[in-house]
Structure 1
Amino acid sequence: MTRVLLFAPLYPPYSGGSPTFFSELANTLPDEYDVHILTAYHQDRPLFAKENGSHVYRIIPMKLDLPAPARMILEGGVAFVAAMLIGLFRRIDIAHIHSTSFSTPPIAISMMLLSVPVIYDCQDLAVRSWIATLGNPVAHFSVGKRVDEILVDAGVDEDSIIRTPITNPTYVSEYASRPVDSADDSFSVVFVGALRELKGVDILFNGFCEFAVEHPDATLTLVGDGPLREQLDDSIRNTEVGSRIELLGNVPHRKALSEIASADVLALLSKRETGPRVVFEAFAVGTPVVATRVGAVPDVLDDEETGLLIERSRESIIEALATLYEDPQQRQKMAENALDAKHGPTESELINAVERGYSRAESV
């Protein structure tokens, strides 16, 4: 049996693309892999647990209110010691490490000291060039062409890059429903993601508030947490349309899917992305998407067919919401097109790609 240390900065019950990816990966890997997941502390879960056959160590502190240097010392220090202990006592064979976290370098160094081959999982454009080659990794998992370019520019051998496709968990399809004509005149907008300036949630909020003044049946639901949460809480209390804005915070993935499926449109005004999982999820459940032209979004969103591609501005989101609000038939057609579209690779394709990387590590 191959023993794998899987470093996931966040893991359920935390929500979002990364926790969903790592939990689904751990749950679908063949039984020949003994998976040990090192992740962030969560107050509602035990420090050590066995879940769906995997060993989960929720011990890395997440202190988002601390300055970056302090977080690097605290999180990195705990991660280094934990990885060393897990590596020694569990006799880890392969380390599969998320590439963008304060804990990434210390874990990579610990594996290097233990002579454990490392694979970096590069899911976003924030991967640092100096990290990409730290510890002489044997392979890099990449989710897109732009990530490939960053890795190659950092000196990574192109032959070591393995494309891991973005896939939806099988249960996402349970939330899909064919849209039907409705006498309900309400218009609901949903955002799912980190409450950060990078994701454009502040632009969406300001645009919606202006839009909602003229459209009293419009609602906005914000799903997620992050640095802008306190600011958004205050803004909701102080705006005249605050009663029609709901800030749910982090919720389980199935709850987030339910919110997406029940909305008329999902909005994502990111400054940069690779392949945002939430867009694939929205299409899979039949919800049109309004999004900026970043990363792989223009490749998967068919403008005016499954949603709208817009500029990253308050004026653009107001115009897009007005367009969809005023044409329910267009919204319905977009929803049908989204359901009929090919929703990307299957989980088996993802597992095949990951196993290629693991096989490479085992052969070192």
Structure 2
Amino acid sequence: MLRERKITILYPIIHYPPVIGGIEQWAENLANRQPENVKVIVVTGRVEGQPNVEARGRVLIFRKSIFSLRDLSHSSRFYILGAFPLVLFGSILAARKDKINLVHCHGFLSAVMGYFLSFFTGTPFLGTEQSTGWAGSWFRGLIYRRAELCIAASKAVGKEFESIGVDRSKIRIIPNGVDFSIFSNVRGPTPYIPRGEQKVFNILSVGRLEKVKGHKYLIDAFIGIKKEIPNAKLTIVGDGLLAEDLKSKIKELSLDGDIYLVGEVPHSDLPKYYAYADVFVMPSISEGFGIAVIEAMASGVPVVASRVGGLIDIIEENNTGLLVKPENSSEIKEAVCFLKNNPVKAEEFSKNALLKSREYSWDKVARSVGDLYSELVTKDFSKKILFATSIFTPDIGGPAVYAEKLREELISIGYEIEVAKGKDSRSLLRLCQKAKNSGVIYALTSSPRILAPALLASKFSGKKIVVRLGGDYIWERAMEKRRVDCSLSSFYRDNRLTVLEKVVAYFIASMLKRVDGVIFTTEFQKEIYNKYYKLKASNVSVIENAYPRFESGKSRSFPNEPLKIIYAGRIIWLKNLHSLIRALSRLKRDYKENILLEITGEGPDLGNLIEEARSRGVSESIIFAAALPHEEILEKLKMAWIAVLPSYSEVSPNFALEACAARTPIILTKECGLSAGIKDKLITFDPFDENSLVLAMEKMLDRNEWTKYQKELMELNLDRSYKEVAEEHNKLFQNL
């Protein structure tokens, strides 16, 4: 599948060849061996003498750092500090420009960059480690737990991943490789010993001159080896912090004519050293893999190595080589002398090791990694949606109910839904993190506080974004500040926005024109926005809310007193509840019926309503109740005399539909988003004319009128389920 699709893989890595090192060779060999449809972009540090931009076949290399590296085998902290931010920034730019499908990180610093890239671009990253000695690191745990998969060079490295909390199912064991076109078992002359002195027993070790490589134990062992094998010579290839210490030690032991520290050599020159070696020794104290052992085996050289880490995976003891205790010079000496004194056994080890090494061809390793690329890149994100919403269950409220019901139905038709709510929905970093495994960000909001970070997250991550507008941010805030006293339609029609509100409106319009889809719940709001915000018609859809399941059976009788009026929803100024309380006080004054008003909900206007009730002398006739779950509201509606929704404007009057479903007479604002076919059958009033509300309520005191209206509601049989709502969303998501 990977070979059928053009993809781009990004390698953010501080060092890349010609810089010398195992992880660098790993990255280069993988990059060079990917199939033709795979493009690899490498962002790395600058190297003296190398171009800042270079194309090697299908591999494009960008070199970015403050300083240029001179020593190909060692870089200072200053170089790394100067390279890290520029390599990271260059990687972010590359990810945005080239539509990166996957980030493959090589080593821990590279993984840190992958971690940040996954936040800022939403691109999944794959981590690789080839060393050990970091088990239990909380910081590595933080980084690698975010990776899609982690490649361990050996079982020992895999255990270290597990120790930091990476799930075992996310760990893959893929060893390093060897290039058989370079390394072979053809013998050759010693590169630096004159041909007249070739009759020696050559011991070779390759690795960085650091404590963990255990070279001091090999040098100590060589003292005993020299006594038993007088013509023995030891060559150590590599450079590092202990170079001067080891030179001093060799000189003190008077072995400077028998032990050669040749320093770092280009990887292409290593075959010459393996070709003359009679024994290869890797005396490491700790070793994640040990690529030099594989190279020695591919060169037909018998191997002695420490019984640690990845070396245990490579060497089959007494079959392909000998294993010794780490930090044990005596065992190293015994193993080397055994191979010298048992040439038949040494030859057997060499042949077996040569066969074993074929398992580690770079082509095979590259195919294994390519399979992982395919596994990650071909994941189907089209049915993975991230909801960004201010509230969600267990929160109480219409938007929370809608989001939860829609989520359930989408899951039933094969979607995977993740939710970012509250603070998470307003955090760019959290949205980028959650968007990583999603195909679409679905912002259920009219607030720019959620819309802005959701839009940025979609752009950073390359994901599609759809916005559902169920209200109007600017008008609602203007009403709550008591700056205006008008309906939603007249607010825009009469251009009653302040300069600041026009700036916010321009900002919202700019965002809505950049999203992939805008969903309105009613034609009412769609018409307002199309006129003022001038949205693209192709990007706009109307997906109406679901209608509650309508009660069947016989019509209800006029209820006994007390006659209860129900309102449920947010307690805010634009809901016009003060008019409802004043209308109640007039009914209480003019009629003898015992009428109660129950206001259920929460909001900043509660205290003002309590004071309004007290000043009107109707405190004992009003019950203020906390917000209730949707099901309990429906039960209250079934027992109510009437339901009232007096808002100045109501884009999606779900409460009115719930009252209709319960067959409870509903009085609602005429400034609402219900279709004409439904609204014409309901009693509506002018929210700016208190008398019209009183008249509507008075009409319902007439038993005949109440019964007539209730029977008309019985005939109203609207049928729209959340399943239909989900199917319309599915069609929209799949056509993005």
- On whether the aligned pair clears a TM of 0.5, the verdict is yes
Match of 2:266 among 234, 252, 255: 252
Q: Tell me the CA shift for residue 264 of structure 1.
A: 0.5
Q: Tell me the CA shift for residue 217 of structure 1.
A: 1.8
Are residues 1:125 and 2:135 paired?
Answer: no
Are residues 1:170 and 2:177 paired?
Answer: no
Match of 1:300 among 314, 317, 320: 314
Given that residues 45 and 83 in structure 2 are in contact (C-alpha distance below 8 angstroms), is that contact kept between their aligned partners in structure 1?
A: no
Counting only pairs closer than 5 Å after superposition, residues 192-211 of structure 1 correspond to structure 2 as 192-211=206-225
Match of 2:358 among 336, 343, 363: 343
Looking at structure 1, the residues matched to 365 and 315 of structure 2 have their Cα atoms a distance apart, in angstroms, of 21
The equivalent residue for 2:149 is: 139
Larger CA Rg, structure 1 vs 2 = 2
Given that residues 266 and 289 in structure 1 are in contact (C-alpha distance below 8 angstroms), is that contact kept between their aligned partners in structure 2?
A: yes
Looking at structure 1, the residues matched to 253 and 97 of structure 2 have their Cα atoms a distance apart, in angstroms, of 55
Distance 1:360 1:299, change over 3 A: closer
Indicate the SS of the match to 2:156: helix
The equivalent residue for 1:22 is: 27
Unaligned stretches of 5+ residues in structure 1: none
Indicate the SS of the match to 2:108: coil
Looking at structure 2, the residues matched to 177 and 196 of structure 1 have their Cα atoms a distance apart, in angstroms, of 30
Distance 1:43 1:205, change over 3 A: farther
Counting only pairs closer than 5 Å after superposition, residues 301-320 of structure 1 correspond to structure 2 as 301-312=315-326, 313-320=328-335
Q: Tell me the CA shift for residue 203 of structure 1.
A: 1.7
Distance 1:281 1:129, change over 3 A: farther
The TM-score with structure 1 as length reference comes to: 0.85
Distance 1:54 1:188, change over 3 A: same
The equivalent residue for 2:102 is: 94
Moved more, 290-299 or 160-169: 160-169
Deviations 1:162-186 (A, max 9, x none): 332433223245x22389xxx9741
AA of the residue aligned to 1:297? L
Indicate the SS of the match to 1:12: coil
Given that residues 49 and 57 in structure 1 are in contact (C-alpha distance below 8 angstroms), is that contact kept between their aligned partners in structure 2?
A: yes
Deviations 1:182-203 (A, max 9, x none): x974111111111111111222
Looking at structure 2, the residues matched to 26 and 289 of structure 1 have their Cα atoms a distance apart, in angstroms, of 29
Distance 1:186 1:304, change over 3 A: farther
The equivalent residue for 1:224 is: 238
Q: Tell me the CA shift for residue 287 of structure 1.
A: 0.2
Q: Tell me the CA shift for residue 239 of structure 1.
A: 4.2
Looking at structure 1, the residues matched to 334 and 212 of structure 2 have their Cα atoms a distance apart, in angstroms, of 21
The equivalent residue for 2:9 is: 4
The equivalent residue for 1:354 is: 369
AA of the residue aligned to 2:25? T
Counting only pairs closer than 5 Å after superposition, residues 180-199 of structure 1 correspond to structure 2 as 185-199=199-213
Distance 1:58 1:316, change over 3 A: farther
Looking at structure 2, the residues matched to 155 and 200 of structure 1 have their Cα atoms a distance apart, in angstroms, of 30
Looking at structure 1, the residues matched to 361 and 203 of structure 2 have their Cα atoms a distance apart, in angstroms, of 28
Given that residues 42 and 62 in structure 2 are in contact (C-alpha distance below 8 angstroms), is that contact kept between their aligned partners in structure 1?
A: yes
Unaligned stretches of 5+ residues in structure 2: 1-5, 189-196, 380-436, 438-736
Deviations 1:62-105 (A, max 9, x none): 696756xx67643433332332333334443321002323x542
The equivalent residue for 1:35 is: 40
The count of corresponding residues between Structure 1 and Structure 2 is: 357
Are residues 1:274 and 2:288 paired?
Answer: yes
Looking at structure 1, the residues matched to 262 and 47 of structure 2 have their Cα atoms a distance apart, in angstroms, of 18
Deviations 1:298-323 (A, max 9, x none): 34323334322112222222222333
Given that residues 153 and 289 in structure 2 are in contact (C-alpha distance below 8 angstroms), is that contact kept between their aligned partners in structure 1?
A: yes
AA of the residue aligned to 1:219? K
Match of 1:112 among 119, 142, 149: 119
Distance 1:129 1:140, change over 3 A: farther
Q: Tell me the CA shift for residue 23 of structure 1.
A: 1.4
Looking at structure 1, the residues matched to 165 and 22 of structure 2 have their Cα atoms a distance apart, in angstroms, of 28
Looking at structure 1, the residues matched to 55 and 251 of structure 2 have their Cα atoms a distance apart, in angstroms, of 42
AA of the residue aligned to 1:105? V
Indicate the SS of the match to 2:177: coil
Indicate the SS of the match to 2:51: coil
Match of 1:160 among 148, 151, 170: 170
AA of the residue aligned to 2:91? A
The TM-score with structure 2 as length reference comes to: 0.44
Give the percent of matched residue pairs that are identical in Structure 1 and Structure 2: 25
